[in-house]
Amino acid sequence: MQLNRDAQVALLTAALPLLAPGSRVVFVTSHQAHFIATTPTMPEYLPVALSKRAGEDALRAMIPTLDAGGIEFVVVSGDMIEGTITATLLERANPGAISARKDAAGKLYNVGEFAAEIALAAVEPIPADHTRLVGDVSDFVGA
């Protein structure tokens, strides 16, 4: 919680006086965290998913303050990303996790592809729900 919630809120709170109207905050998370309230995840990832969702919720609670300062906010939620340390660690703890997710999703983004989506989120119009979903969400309830 200290890393995925408290530090996120502290950073944004400290940055607020420095952000000019028209600035945009992009929070990056995983589908496993974003949808944790409606879709179970691997037990190995559960504490991370819960803390990342707590961070997302805490930042979303700041949207009225951000709006008042003319600061935009968007969440980028991605499916499992090939080539990340998280995916590698999950694969070690749960052999076959990456291939199973790839089979279910049809495709997994790699680090470069996901980075490009994050960059687009910084400049493209923000969806009404402040959420940009990257990758397959068909296995996630409430998607």
Interval 37-58: pLDDT, tens: 999 988 888 999 999 999 999 9
Residue 2: pLDDT band (50, 70, 90) is very high
CB 68 within 8 A of CB 24: no
Could you tell me if 130 and 77 are in contact, meaning their C-beta atoms sit under 8 angstroms apart? no
DSSP secondary structure letters along 71-114? -EEEEEEE---BTSHHHHHHHHHSTTHHHHHHHHHS---BHHHH
Q: At what angle do helices 7-15 and 46-60 cross, to 10 degrees?
A: 30
Most confident of 7-21, 33-47, 91-105: 7-21
What's the pLDDT score for residue 37? Answer: 95
